[in-house]
Amino acid sequence: MARKKTVKKATSRAKSTAKTGKRSKNGNPTATKEKIVALAESVLSHIDAAGNPSLNVPIRSLSNVSFNKRKRIIELGDGKANRPFFDLSNARRFMQTLLMSSELLKLQDQEKTTSIRDMFYHCKHTIEGTREETFNDQDESDPIIEDLEVTLRTLREELRVFANPDGAMVGPMVVRDRGDEIDLSRMGSGGWAVPSIVEPETIQFVKSKAKYVLLIEKAAVWARFNEDRFWESQKCMIIHGRGQPPRGVRRLCFRMVQELGLPLYVLVDNDPWGYYIYSVIKQGSINLAFESARMAVPTARFIGMSSYDAVEFDISPSVTIRMNDKDIARAKEIMAYPWFQDRRWQREIKHMLKLGVKLELEALSNKEFSFIADTYVPAKLKKGKWLD
């Protein structure tokens, strides 16, 4: 009964807030709030009808994920799981989902954003009259947030929560970030730190002279391109995401491609992990298939490094790295993914396996410090030597 009361409390709170719903200071639409409220109301109507309240949550496991060949993105299917409250195996997650919804609504009301870790702590408490915790650890709360993302058909960022921010960008563009106009061509050596949440309500593109976007895997390599003012001579944006780019960087690239019509080039190490980083940017990932449509960039181009580059650019064998068993296994795994079936990709990966070596972006420094920015990338672009 105590639990039922919690549900009622959360849902009635949700309803009363929805009534005063208005466009927020930051211009965030009320759409997300309304979705949360609608979810709560559907639960309430079940309760009022003395039924067994339940939630229909899209299934996020591999069984419900597929590669859409036409759209060229990884998509979630229509499979849903019913999560009834009066069910021993579901009651806890049901309670957690409702509690999380209610607290996410507060974020909407307060017009704040916060981290998924914060949400865990925010929602954690001992349930009155019991010794049970609402959440034991963050491994329990993160999936609930993801459940809500898919159930509400909303992005985590629209729910106003984020993981860790990371990445930086510079180039011939002016953006508005929470009202501040920032000239990204005057950002010195540091650059503009890419925020976690880059939705149109927060970040707007004010002016752009950029002709394309170059996404660079590593922060230190990005610093090379920035110091050489590559973005100035090439009229492009340069952005990094420190390895596998965080969602803010992916979403910003998506928006630049969609809204500004810019081509996106991806520059990664020549190893299976580099291929994978590229594929997540391009097709999305299996884990987060539900957000591909608003994160993935199917037109993204793999500018390098390719397993053919060592010979093409006369790179010393001294700076290649022999693949270990894990690398080889991963390369074979990647070669089997449906989205790597294009014959040029099969050729690329087979060639890496045949050579048996990896090549890091920094290896190009073996020639000249600026070889990568002065020679390598310009040559690739000029000759149209990329994979897509």
- Binding positions for a copy of itself, rule: CB under 8 A: 106-107, 110, 112-115, 117-122, 124-126, 133, 162-166, 168, 175-182, 186-197, 202-203, 219-221, 223-224, 227, 242, 316, 318-319, 360, 362-366, 369-370
Residue number, 74 or 249, with CB nearest to a copy of itself: 249
Pick the closer one to a copy of itself by CB: 335 or 377: 377
Nearer to a copy of itself, 168 or 295 (CB): 168
At closest approach, how far in Å is the CB of 206 from a copy of itself? 12
The residue among 114 and 154 lying less far from a copy of itself, judged by its C-beta, is: 114
- Cβ-proximal residues to 7 (8 Å cutoff; 6+ apart), any chain: 43, 47, 53, 85, 95, 98
Our CB check for a copy of itself shows the closer of 223 and 353 to be 223
Q: How far apart are CA 130 and CA 166, in angstroms?
A: 40
Cβ-based nearer residue to a copy of itself, 34 or 177: 177
Smallest gap from residue 326 Cβ to a copy of itself (A): 17
Q: Is the peptide bond before 187 cis (omega within 30 degrees of 0)?
A: no
Q: How far is the CB of 52 from a copy of itself (least distance, A)?
A: 29
Selecting among 121, 212, 275, 376, the annotated active-site residue is: 121
CB of 363 to a copy of itself, least distance (A): 5
> Residues with Cβ < 8 Å from 300, sequence gap 6 or more?
253, 257, 264, 265, 266, 278, 281, 282, 388
Least Å distance between CB 278 and a copy of itself? 21
Sequence-separated contacts (24+) of 201-204 with Cβ below 8 Å: 201/26, 201/27, 201/28, 201/29, 202/26, 202/177, 202/178, 203/175, 203/176, 203/177, 203/252, 203/255, 204/175, 204/176
Separation between Cα atoms, residue 230 and residue 45, nearest integer Å: 59
Measured from the Cβ of residue 55, the count of other Cβ atoms closer than 10 Å reads: 23
Separation CA 337–CA 66 (nearest Å): 11
Q: Please say whether the beta carbons of 52 and 86 come within 8 A.
A: yes
Residue 225 CB, shortest distance to a copy of itself, in Å, is 12
Residue 278 falls in the annotated catalytic set? no
**Catalytic residue set:** 121
